[in-house]
Amino acid sequence: VTTTTLPASWVNGIAVPTDAPAVSVRDRGLTLGDGVFETMRVQGGRIFRRQRHLFRLQAALGELHFPPVPDLDRWLTEATAALGGGDGSIRLTVTRGIASGGWAPPTDARPTVIVIVGPMPAFPSEIYERGLTLRVAGDRRNEYARTATLKTIGYADSVLALIEAHQAGADDALFLDTAGHCSEATASNLFISRGDELITPPTSCGALPGITRRTIMEIGMTMGLRVVERALDTNDLIGADEAFLTSSLRGVAPVVRLQHNEIGNARPGALTTRLRAAYTALVARECGVGT
Amino acid sequence: VTTTTLPASWVNGIAVPTDAPAVSVRDRGLTLGDGVFETMRVQGGRIFRRQRHLFRLQAALGELHFPPVPDLDRWLTEATAALGGGDGSIRLTVTRGIASGGWAPPTDARPTVIVIVGPMPAFPSEIYERGLTLRVAGDRRNEYARTATLKTIGYADSVLALIEAHQAGADDALFLDTAGHCSEATASNLFISRGDELITPPTSCGALPGITRRTIMEIGMTMGLRVVERALDTNDLIGADEAFLTSSLRGVAPVVRLQHNEIGNARPGALTTRLRAAYTALVARECGVGT
Express each pLDDT in B122-142 by its tens digit.
999 999 999 999 999 999 999
Q: Per the CB < 8 Å rule, is B16 touching A7?
A: no
Structure confidence by residue, pLDDT tens digits, B20-47:
999 999 999 999 999 999 999 999 999 9
Contacts of B31 in chain A (CB under 8 A): 37, 91, 93, 153
Enter the DSSP assignment of A106: P
Structure confidence by residue, pLDDT tens digits, A154-202:
999 999 999 999 999 999 999 999 999 999 999 999 999 999 999 999 9
Q: Residue A138: pLDDT above 90?
A: yes
The residue of chain B nearest to residue A15, with distances taken between CA atoms, is B25
Contact B255, B245 (CB under 8 A): yes
| Contacts of residue A226, Cβ cutoff 8 Å, sequence gap at least 6 | A196, A197, A198
Contacts of A138 in chain B (CB under 8 A): 146
Q: Per the CB < 8 Å rule, is B23 touching A20?
A: no
Q: Per the CB < 8 Å rule, is A103 touching B162?
A: yes
Q: Per the CB < 8 Å rule, is B156 touching A33?
A: yes
| Contacts of residue B122, Cβ cutoff 8 Å, sequence gap at least 6 | none
Whole-angstrom Cα Rg for chain A: 19
Structure confidence by residue, pLDDT tens digits, B73-108:
999 999 999 999 999 999 999 999 999 888 999 999
Structure confidence by residue, pLDDT tens digits, A7-59:
999 999 999 998 899 999 999 999 999 999 999 999 999 999 999 999 999 99
Q: Per the CB < 8 Å rule, is B178 touching A144?
A: yes
pLDDT recorded at residue A291:
54
Rounded mean pLDDT of A116-128?
Answer: 94
- Of the candidates B21, B116, B141, the beta carbon closest to that of A22 is on B21
Contacts of B29 in chain A (CB under 8 A): 30
Task: Give the separation between CA A58 and CA A43, rounded to whole angstroms.
Answer: 23
Contact A121, B109 (CB under 8 A): no
Contact B244, B2 (CB under 8 A): no
pLDDT recorded at residue A102:
86
Structure confidence by residue, pLDDT tens digits, A225-245:
999 999 999 999 999 999 999
The residue of chain A nearest to residue B148, with distances taken between CA atoms, is A157
- How many residues appear in chain A? 291
Enter the DSSP assignment of A249: T
Question: Greater confidence, A50 or A102?
Answer: A50
Q: Work out the mean pLDDT of chain A and round it to a whole number.
A: 96
Q: Is B24 left (phi over 0), alpha (psi -120 to 50) or beta?
A: beta
Q: Work out the mean pLDDT of chain B and round it to a whole number.
A: 96
Q: Is B85 left (phi over 0), alpha (psi -120 to 50) or beta?
A: left
Q: Residue B2: pLDDT above 60?
A: no
pLDDT recorded at residue B252:
98
Structure confidence by residue, pLDDT tens digits, A209-225:
999 999 999 999 999 99
* Of B98, B93, B156, B199, nearest in space to A66 by CA: B156
* Of A36, A155, A16, nearest in space to A91 by CA: A36
Task: Give the separation between CA B181 and CA B170, rounded to whole angstroms.
Answer: 20
Contacts of B121 in chain A (CB under 8 A): 101-102
Q: Per the CB < 8 Å rule, is B153 touching A157?
A: no
Q: pTM of the prediction?
A: 0.97
| Contacts of residue B281, Cβ cutoff 8 Å, sequence gap at least 6 | none
Rounded mean pLDDT of B285-289?
Answer: 94
Q: What is the dihedral of CA A205, A210, A213, A219, to 10 degrees?
A: 140
- What phi and psi values does residue B274 have, to the nearest 5 degrees? -70, -45
Task: Give the separation between CA A33 and CA B37, rounded to whole angstroms.
Answer: 12
Q: Residue A2: pLDDT above 90?
A: no
- Of the candidates B23, B138, B153, the beta carbon closest to that of A25 is on B23
Cis peptide before B7 (omega within 30 of 0): yes
* Of A233, A226, A234, nearest in space to A194 by CA: A226
Structure confidence by residue, pLDDT tens digits, B214-226:
999 999 999 999 9
pLDDT recorded at residue B101:
80
pLDDT recorded at residue A1:
44
Percentage of the residues of chain A whose pLDDT score is greater than 90: 95
Q: Per the CB < 8 Å rule, is B31 touching A9?
A: no
Mutate to test the interface with B, among A9, A110, A142, A204 (most CBs of B within 10 A): A142
Looking at chain A, the number of H-run helices and the number of E-run strands are: 8, 15
pLDDT recorded at residue B1:
44
- Find residue B268's DSSP bridge partners: none
How close does chain B come to A30, measured CA to CA in Å?
5
- Of the candidates B16, B152, B156, the beta carbon closest to that of A64 is on B156
Rounded mean pLDDT of B240-258?
Answer: 98
How close does chain A come to B27, measured CA to CA in Å?
8
pLDDT recorded at residue A5:
84
Contact A58, A105 (CB under 8 A): no
B202, with CB counted inside 10 A (0-12, 13-18, 19+), is: middle
Contacts of A154 in chain B (CB under 8 A): 32-33, 152-156
Q: Per the CB < 8 Å rule, is A146 touching B140?
A: no
Contacts of A27 in chain B (CB under 8 A): 23, 30
Q: What ipTM, to 2 d.p.?
A: 0.96
Q: Per the CB < 8 Å rule, is B114 touching A25?
A: yes
A260, with CB counted inside 10 A (0-12, 13-18, 19+), is: exposed
How close does chain A come to B191, measured CA to CA in Å?
21
Q: Per the CB < 8 Å rule, is B187 touching A103?
A: yes
Whole-angstrom Cα Rg for chain B: 19
